[in-house]
Amino acid sequence: MEKSKVVSITDALPTVSIGKGGKKNEYVMVHERVKHFRELFPKGSILTELISSDDPLEIICKATIVNDGTIYGVGHASELKGDGFINKTSALENAETSAVGRALGNIGIGINLGFASADEIVNATAKQEEKVDLSKEAIAKARKYLEDAHAKDADALREAFYALHEKMQDKLRDVANELRSSKG
């Protein structure tokens, strides 16, 4: 299939608006990309695999787009278990879907403005607008939260740390490392 045909058809794929206020982006959902891929390449395959990580909370997936034995594109994605609403229960599925979306984007399907997943756009927009309390009281409360988790075990400490906001993580990174080293 000609690349120009893929691009012209891709421009007509349904999109959703993601973001808030004046910062909305049009995004082609991954299921629409997959449907379009199946229309273009009825005998094509999307192969996914779980890639191991040294971090037990990190999920890394790889997606490979294949047609007639030829690899057309590859995409990778990683997610942290428990990071955000979706990853509390579905980090593996989220990483796999993101990897598929990236692989399809790499062959030109569904990339109107870029390669970011819908969750990445929503999370980035929310983090830019989010205000985090980094007062002494909030830091003391977060430290107590980590100390309580540390009393359980190292995995509980890690999960508690990643449940904190990124800005709070930065403030408490030294505290968490201190607690982890004192356990052993």
Q: How far is CA 155 from CA 7, 84, 98, 105, 150, in A?
A: 46, 17, 26, 35, 8
Residue 136 burial (CB count, 10 A): 7
Per residue in 20-45, pLDDT tens?
666 666 778 888 899 999 999 999 99
- As for how many domains the chain has, the answer is 2
| Residue with token string 């309390």 | 133
115 and 149 together in one domain? no
121 and 140 together in one domain? no
One-letter identity of residue 49: E
140 and 125 together in one domain? no
Q: How far is CA 156 from CA 11, 45, 58, 91, in A?
A: 46, 39, 15, 17
Domain holding 56, by residue range, is 3-129
30 and 66 together in one domain? yes
Query: Of the candidates 129, 155, 172, which is a domain's last residue?
Result: 129
66 and 143 together in one domain? no
Q: CATH number of the domain that 48 lies in?
A: 3.30.390
Per residue in 65-121, pLDDT tens?
999 999 999 999 998 888 877 878 888 998 999 999 999 989 989 876 555 555 555
**pTM surpassing 0.85?**
no
Phi and psi for 56 in degrees, rounded to 5?
Answer: -65, -15
Per residue in 123-157, pLDDT tens?
555 555 567 777 888 778 888 877 877 787 767 77
Helix-helix angle 30-40:84-106, to 10 degrees: 30
11 and 92 together in one domain? yes
Residue 52 burial (CB count, 10 A): 8
72 and 103 together in one domain? yes
123 and 142 together in one domain? no
125 and 167 together in one domain? no
